[in-house]
Homo-oligomer: A and B are copies of this chain.
Amino acid sequence: MAEKRLTRVTSFDVAEAAGVSQSTVSRALAGDPSISAPTRQRVMEAARKLNYQVDENAARLRRGKTGTLAVVMVCRPGQDRKDLNPFYYALLGSTCAAAAARGFEVLVAFQDSPENFWGHYQERRKADGMIVIGTSENTAAWDYFGALPQGSHWVCWGATQDDFPWVRSDNHAGATLATRHMLVRGYRHIVCLGSETSPQRQFKERYDGYAAAMESAGLEPVLQRIERGLPREEQGRRAAVALIESGRPFDAIFGVSDEIALGALKELAGRGLVVPDQIGIVGFDGVRAGAWSTPPLTTVESDFEVAGSLLVDRLLAMISGETATARRVPVRLVVRGSTRP
């Protein structure tokens, strides 16, 4: 075999080597059925020998399609990349996997503030469409993406706006699952640490799911509000403090996110309250960190693989003009140690 080198080889070179025309090379390699088997053989052989690879830029220019999807990760302004919620990284990973499985390349960009908001992938022919993943806290980002020109192909995870092309976890079902689990395990005075007014749409949905489960058990739902603008862990910790100081009796906590639940867990443990014996705790997100707490956190986890697939499929449907289907990602309960047996 010839030594592999990186000199530019065009389809003309392959054509010459195979003794056919350039267009035949293009067709043979593209799998055009009109090319005869022996010709295809010769072309493939020549291409292999010359180490030929299609110039994607030329191909895309000609085709008018890029075969690429853009994924924009919306972060908090100035936030360190290593502090990004692992949930979003998992979502990024599964989205890339789904795109790759469908034959698309993925362009990734982290964006956090107006200076670097940028969504013109489609106009610049860098991608056929865009997936925006991020926290609803960054309202400036959602305003920006919501104002993209008509005809932009995009879907999102995390926006507050209900008229955006969103995909979300089945928050209601997940919260109900969590609450029922605690009821079954004998907890009665279950308090929800969260918010019904947060821009985080899913927090409201999770509260509603919790409330529904409580009510259908004949119990009164109780919401302990988190303060805005703090790190999640701190929100959870403070809400736990406020709850304790309120004097309201409780024997279980449903945190609308894992980090809120973990913050509360830490606070309770620090005060000598025994989890799960005295107090049960359940979170929502299924991030890895929960597995390391003491006790490990019982939580509701989204099916990440499905999440990535739904985002990609919805986007591809939009691109091809079809009508998309599901937009809710199924969830499951992950029972660990923060609720009693």
- CB within 8 Å of B: which residues of A? 3-7, 51, 53-58, 60-61, 66, 68, 71, 73, 80-84, 86, 89-90, 92-94, 96-97, 100, 105-110, 116, 120, 122-126, 148-152, 262, 269, 286, 288-294, 304-305, 308
Contacts and interface: CB of A to CB of B under 8 A. Distances in A.
A95 to B, nearest CB: 9
Given A4-B149, A57-B66, A83 B126 contact: no
Q: Most chain-B Cβ atoms within 10 A of its Cβ — which of A3, A71, A269, A293?
A: A293
Nearest to A5: B150
A108 B96 contact: yes
A123 B124 CA distance: 22
A53 B125 CA distance: 9
A230 to B, nearest CB: 16
A151 B5 CA distance: 6
Contacts of A83: 288
Given A90-B82, A110-B93, A289-B292, A4 B124 contact: no
Contacts of A286: 82
B66 A94 contact: no
B53 A81 contact: no
Q: Most chain-B Cβ atoms within 10 A of its Cβ — which of A51, A81, A269, A294?
A: A81
B6 A122 contact: yes
B124 A56 contact: yes
A250 B104 CA distance: 53
Closest 9 pairs between A and B when the two form their complex, measured CB to CB: A81-B93, A6-B151, A82-B90, A4-B149, A294-B294, A53-B123, A89-B89, A57-B61, A57-B60
15 contacts: A4-B148, A5-B150, A6-B123, A6-B152, A51-B149, A55-B125, A57-B61, A81-B93, A82-B93, A86-B86, A96-B108, A96-B109, A96-B110, A106-B107, A289-B289
A49 to B, nearest CB: 13
B6 A288 contact: no
